[in-house]
Each structure stands twice: as structure tokens, then as C-alpha cells.
């Protein structure tokens, strides 16, 4: 009990220090921008291609990652959103969704909270446009209309976890202490002027380099704050309770961005480097002859001992 209390006090102390030491340049909560009325408008607001000119490496790496197509996925995510609507929302008696035209931003948030957090800056029409586009894409695929598949797929992928989602919208976690992200600022590790025409300031995001930053979307379990909690990714919960609690001390960024040398191309086992970093497998085998009984006589037997050691910072696979 005493130990728990000491740890708890230490945690509070660290939390307080972090907040006061932080030189985050957040500010008062800004007036929200007018809601985006179309997919095109929302995509333009978070367009990462304008950052490419000066941050070519970060952009090239990011564009290989699933963050760059976070509602299309591998492309398993877009169809699963439709399944969640058909087998979930439309069947639940109190969801208010009986047909596609009933879909709202709020009803899609059970997925978009993490897959497209900026959807909260769009009207319900955009939520419906997303669903219609995914359905159109699925139909074009069935019809074998490849041009249309490519076109609609690009529209779906134009909504993603782009530069400004991480370096602005999600950049500051403790907003009461560190302030709210300001629309003219990119958040990283430096303070000063930023060369971009519109986003002309740079400021510090106090926790960008820490696991909690990724934890905002990588899940601890059910999203209890929603009227209808959903559960998808749980890597952050697993990281905290099964890795850090057992002495693990590396951050998500250390493994996924630095050690892997993948930078902004954060990857799972689909990437060879990550697959190699994932597990140690040791196999010991031995063969013996076993005298069973009179009827069966002497039998050859193989004993194979396989040890798999998970070297990652969380359970695998996740999701
Ligand atoms: C005209 C060139 C230019 C454009 C366009 C531009 N940047 Fe920058 N950005 C810079 C320069 C130069 C720096 C300072 C880099 C340095 O000192 O390492 C910088 C710094 C940053 C940093 C801080 C890096 C750190 O180490 O803390 C972030 C984050 C960033 N930019 C994101 C973006 C994003 C997101 C966009 C698109 C919305 C963008 N930039 C567009 C030139 C540009
Ligand atoms: C705004 C939410 C958000 C943030 C912040 C975020 N991620 Fe993700 N990440 C996602 C989503 C959503 C996906 C899955 C997209 C899909 O395929 O549908 C994903 C995918 C990934 C994948 C690939 C998983 C796979 O199965 O291949 C890795 C690895 C990853 N993220 C690591 C990170 C790390 C490390 C950080 C912090 C530096 C981070 N993410 C920050 C939402 C986020
Ligand atoms: C707590 C945040 C969160 C919520 C809420 C969430 N997801 Fe995810 N989802 C992720 C992250 C992060 C990943 C990728 C990493 C992983 O699998 O651990 C992912 C992965 C996936 C994948 C596999 C990705 C691929 O490209 O193959 C699918 C499919 C998926 N999510 C669908 C959904 C659907 C549908 C919903 C809503 C019913 C939903 N998710 C809700 C965060 C979330
Ligand atoms: C999923 C979240 C995420 C996305 C999306 C993202 N970044 Fe970053 N970025 C980070 C994190 C985390 C760091 C700090 C890594 C560390 O700890 O060193 C970072 C660091 C940077 C830096 C500092 C220098 C460096 O390369 O480490 C620049 C510049 C930058 N990002 C630009 C961009 C640009 C441009 C884009 C879009 C093409 C982008 N980022 C998209 C999370 C993200
Ligand atoms: C000690 C290094 C290490 C740390 C720390 C770490 N990861 Fe990983 N992670 C890996 C490796 C290696 C893989 C590849 C194995 C795999 O995909 O199954 C991986 C895979 C993943 C995947 C894909 C899981 C899947 O279903 O295959 C996601 C998502 C992910 N990490 C997110 C995170 C997040 C978020 C954090 C921080 C909370 C984090 N990781 C911390 C090494 C690490």
C-alpha cells in the first residue's frame, strides 16, 4: 500500500513538473474554423502535399505508412467501416441510424476518433459523403471498373492522418496546462518562425517524442467516453501494463522511428526491418526411441521445443 502511494505521489510530481517545465506554445482555445462541407474541403484543410517541398524525406516516408491512408487501410479499414454501419449502427435500436442518410459525424466517431480525428471539423454531410464514396468504390470494384476504383480510392485516401494532424491537432495533450494548438503554428521540438506562408510559427509539442502521444490513437481498450464504446487497437494499453510495468523503457518513437530507421514510415511486420525486430525464436529438437509396449514396440519420437520471445513493446498482433 505504502509503495503504491509513493509511486502515485511520484507520478503526480512528474506530471506536475512536466506541465510546468513544458515550453509549449499553445494558447487559448481558438475559435473553431467553419465546418468543412465536403470531403474535398476537409482534405484541403489537412493537405500534406504542401509540406513536401521543404520536408521531402518526412513526406516520402509518411506516404508509405498506413497513417497516409488511415480510413482506407490495407485496404481493409474502409470495408470494415461499412460492416460497422450495417451490422452495428443500423441494427442497434437506439443509434438513430436506420439508413445511410441518418449517419452523422457523431455516429462515425466510434471509428473516426482514431482513424480520422479531424472529422469533428466537418458537417454530417461529409460523414455521409465518406460512406457513399466507400460504397461507390466497393461497387466499382465488383463491376470491374478499374478507373473508377482508382479515382474513388484516391478520394478515400485523401482523408488521412497527415502532417498537421500530428503536428497540430493532436500535438498538445495537456491543453489546460500547455494550451490549445494554434492554427498558424507547427508543433515539433523547436521555437521560432516557420518558413511556410500560412503556418508561419514553430513551437514545442511537449510530448511529441513520448509514447503517450501515439497512445492518443493506439488504444487502451474500449473508448468509454463514447455513447457506444468501441474497441479496436489496444497497443498503448498493452505497452503501459505489460511492457513498461515490467521494466520496458523504450518509447514507441525509439523503436518505430529511430531504431528501425523508418522515420515517419511507421510500420508493423509487413516491413522486413520490423519483422526482424519483432521476435527471437529458438528451436531445440531431439529425437529418441521410445519403448512403448509389447504391441507397438519401439517408436521413434521427436521432441521439439520452440521458444518465442516477444521483443516489441506490446502484445502482437494487435487490433
Ligand atoms: C518553405 C519551406 C517549408 C514549408 C512549405 C514547410 N516547412 Fe516545416 N520547416 C521548414 C524549415 C526550414 C524548418 C526548420 C527546420 C530545421 O531547423 O530543422 C521547419 C520546421 C518544421 C517543424 C519543426 C521540426 C522540429 O525539429 O521541431 C515541423 C513539425 C514542420 N516544419 C512541419 C511542417 C508541416 C506540417 C508543413 C506543411 C503544413 C511544413 N512544415 C511546411 C520549412 C518549411
Ligand atoms: C491520430 C491518430 C494516430 C496517432 C497520433 C498515431 N497513430 Fe499510428 N495509426 C493510427 C491508425 C488509425 C492506424 C491504422 C490505419 C489503418 O490501416 O486503418 C495506424 C497505424 C500505425 C501503424 C501500422 C500498424 C499496422 O498494422 O501496420 C504503426 C506501426 C503505427 N501506427 C505507429 C504509430 C506510432 C509509433 C505513433 C506515434 C509516433 C502513432 N502511430 C501515432 C492512428 C494514429
Ligand atoms: C482507439 C482508436 C481506434 C478506434 C476507436 C478504432 N480504431 Fe481501428 N485501428 C486503430 C489503430 C491504431 C489501428 C492500427 C494498429 C493496430 O492494429 O493496432 C487500427 C486498425 C484497424 C484495422 C486494420 C487495419 C488495416 O489496414 O488492415 C481495421 C480494419 C480497423 N482498424 C477498423 C476500425 C473500425 C471499423 C472502427 C470503428 C468501428 C475502428 N477501427 C475503431 C485505432 C482505432
Ligand atoms: C503519426 C504522427 C505523425 C505524422 C502523421 C507526421 N509526423 Fe512528423 N513527427 C512525428 C513525431 C512523433 C516526431 C518526433 C520524433 C522524435 O521523437 O524524434 C516528428 C518529427 C518531425 C520533424 C522533426 C525532424 C524529424 O524528421 O524527426 C519534422 C520536420 C516533421 N516531423 C515533419 C512532418 C511532416 C512534413 C509530416 C507530413 C508529411 C509529418 N511530420 C507527419 C509524428 C508525426
Ligand atoms: C521495443 C520496441 C517497440 C516499442 C517500445 C513499441 N513497438 Fe510497436 N512494434 C515493434 C515491432 C518490432 C513491431 C513489429 C511486430 C508486428 O508487427 O507484429 C511492432 C508492431 C507494432 C504495431 C503493429 C501490430 C500488429 O498487429 O502487427 C503497432 C500498431 C505498434 N507496434 C504500435 C506501437 C505503439 C503505439 C507503441 C508505443 C505505445 C509501440 N508500438 C512501442 C516494436 C516496438
pLDDT in tens, 83-134: 999 999 999 999 999 999 999 999 999 999 999 999 999 999 999 999 999 9
CB 44 within 8 A of CB 82: no
* Degrees to nearest 5, angle at CA 57 with 53 and 59: 65
Tell me, what's the pLDDT at 71?
98
Task: Looking at the CA of 241, name the nearest ligand.
Answer: 5
Q: Strand pairing partners for 306?
A: 283
Which of 262, 61, 66 minimizes the C-alpha distance to 161? 66
pLDDT of residue 308: 95
Residue 6 confidence (pLDDT): 43
Ligand 3 centre to CA of 68 (Å) is 14
Instruction: Give the ligand whose atoms come closest to the C-alpha of residue 233.
Output: 3
Distance CA(63)–CA(265), nearest Å, equals 7
Position 4 scores a pLDDT of 43
Mutual angle of helices 211-218 and 105-115, in 10-degree steps: 140
Among protein residues, the one whose CA lies closest to atom 39 of ligand 2? 214
Residue 2: predicted pLDDT:
40
- What separation, in Å, do the N-terminal and C-terminal C-alpha atoms of the chain show? 34
Nearest one of 162, 150, 153, 143 to 72, comparing CA atoms = 153
C-alpha cell of residue 301: 519420437
What's the CA gap between 208 and 173, in Å, rounded? 9
Q: How far is the CA of 266 from the centre of ligand 2 (A)?
A: 7
Residue whose CA is at the smallest distance from ligand 4 atom 37: 163
Q: What is the mean pLDDT of each run of 10 residues along the chain (319 residues)?
A: 42 43 73 97 97 97 98 97 98 97 97 98 98 98 98 98 98 96 96 95 97 97 93 97 97 98 97 96 94 93 95 94
Alpha helix positions (H), 160-315: 163-164, 175-178, 211-218, 235-238, 252-253, 272-278
Is residue 271 exposed (0-12), middle (13-18) or buried (19+ Cβ within 10 Å)? Answer: middle
What pLDDT digit, counting tens, does each position of 131-152 carry? 999 999 999 999 999 999 999 9
Pocket of ligand 5, candidates 245, 252, 258, 319: which has the most ligand atoms within 8 Å of its Cβ, to mutate? 252
Residue 236 Cβ inside 6 Å of ligand 5? The answer reads yes
Per-residue pLDDT at 319: 76
Quick one: pLDDT at residue 23? Answer: 46
71 lines ligand 4 (CB under 6 A): no
Largest CA distance in the chain: 88
Would you call the peptide bond into 317 cis, given omega within 30 degrees of 0 as the criterion? yes
Index of the ligand 1 atom closest to the CA of residue 204? 27
Q: How many angstroms separate the alpha carbon of residue 264 from the centre of ligand 4?
A: 6
Amino acid at each position: 500500500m505504502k509503495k503504491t502511494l509513493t509511486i502515485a505521489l511520484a507520478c503526480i510530481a512528474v506530471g506536475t513538473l512536466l506541465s510546468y517545465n513544458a515550453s509549449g506554445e499553445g494558447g487559448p482555445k481558438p475559435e473553431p474554423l467553419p465546418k468543412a462541407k465536403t470531403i474535398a474541403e476537409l482534405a484541403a484543410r489537412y493537405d500534406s502535399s504542401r509540406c513536401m517541398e521543404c520536408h521531402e524525406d518526412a513526406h516520402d516516408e509518411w506516404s508509405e505508412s498506413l497513417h497516409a491512408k488511415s480510413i482506407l487501410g490495407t485496404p481493409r479499414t474502409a470495408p470494415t467501416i461499412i460492416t460497422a454501419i450495417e451490422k452495428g449502427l443500423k441494427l442497434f435500436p437506439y443509434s438513430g441510424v436506420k439508413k445511410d442518410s441518418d449517419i452523422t459525424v457523431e455516429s462515425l466517431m466510434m471509428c473516426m476518433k482514431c482513424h480520422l480525428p479531424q472529422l469533428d471539423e466537418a458537417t454530417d454531410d461529409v460523414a455521409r459523403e465518406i460512406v457513399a464514396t466507400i460504397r461507390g468504390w466497393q461497387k466499382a470494384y465488383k463491376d470491374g471498373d478499374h478507373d473508377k476504383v482508382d479515382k474513388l480510392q484516391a478520394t478515400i485516401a485523401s482523408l488521412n492522418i497527415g502532417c498537421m494532424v500530428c503536428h497540430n491537432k493532436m500535438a498538445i495533450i495537456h491543453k489546460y496546462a500547455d494550451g490549445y494548438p494554434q492554427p498558424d503554428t507547427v508543433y515539433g521540438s523547436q521555437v521560432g518562425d516557420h518558413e511556410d506562408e500560412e503556418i508561419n510559427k514553430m513551437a514545442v509539442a511537449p510530448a511529441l517524442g513520448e509514447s503517450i502521444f501515439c497512445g492518443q490513437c493506439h488504444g487502451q481498450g474500449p473508448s468509454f467516453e463514447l455513447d457506444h464504446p468501441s474497441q479496436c487497437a489496444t497497443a498503448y494499453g498493452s505497452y503501459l501494463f505489460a511492457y513498461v510495468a515490467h521494466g520496458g523503457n523504450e518509447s514507441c518513437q525509439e523503436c518505430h522511428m529511430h531504431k528501425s530507421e523508418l522515420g515517419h514510415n511507421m510500420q508493423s511486420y509487413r516491413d522486413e526491418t520490423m519483422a526482424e525486430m519483432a521476435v527471437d525464436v529458438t528451436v531445440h529438437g531431439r529425437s529418441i526411441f521410445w519403448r512403448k509396449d509389447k504391441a507397438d514396440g519401439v517408436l521413434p519420437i521427436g521432441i521439439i521445443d520452440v521458444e518465442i520471445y516477444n521483443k516489441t513493446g506490446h502484445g502482437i498482433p494487435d487490433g
